[in-house]
Amino acid sequence: DAGVIQSPRHEVTEMGQEVTLRCKPISGHDYLFWYRQTMMRGLELLIYFNNNVPIDDSGMPEDRFSAKMPNASFSTLKIQPSEPRDSAVYFCASSHGDENTEAFFGQGTRLTVV
């Protein structure tokens, strides 16, 4: 398996524009997580899904953020409108099963909002 695949790797956008980040989890994994990493706050959980259903979105910072998982092999994180403070590295991770097995992370999307 190629691992968790995220796209794009880098995104530069202007304030006010819509941004969509994409993730393909590892085949067979039933949990998918979105995290955000900044120097100030470290890695923070934004939202996670189980079997394509959102379970906990309490980490989503504002209504400008939304996430979907239309099927087991694809998820998106959308920011609309984007703001400079959204600049960060966004990671997607997936894991398997009900046991607390390790989560596998993608390479991340570095978002810069100017």
Partner 1 sequence: EDQVTQSPEALRLQEGESSSLNCSYTVSGLRGLFWYRQDPGKGPEFLFTLYSAGEEKEKERLKATLTKKESFLHITAPKPEDSATYLCAVSKYSGGGADGLTFGKGTHLIIQP
* Pairing mode, strands 10-13 and 109-113: parallel
CB of 54 to partner 1, least distance (A): 12
Residue 48 within binding range of partner 1, rule CB under 8 A: yes
The tokens for 50 are 């189980």
CB of 89 to partner 1, least distance (A): 9
Query: Do residues 15 and 113 make contact, with C-beta atoms less than 8 angstroms apart?
Result: yes
CB of 60 to partner 1, least distance (A): 12
Chosen residue from 8, 56, 80, 112 binding partner 1 by CB under 8 A: 56
Footprint of partner 1 on this chain (CB under 8 A)?
4, 31, 33, 35, 42-45, 48, 50, 55-56, 59, 91, 93, 95, 97-108
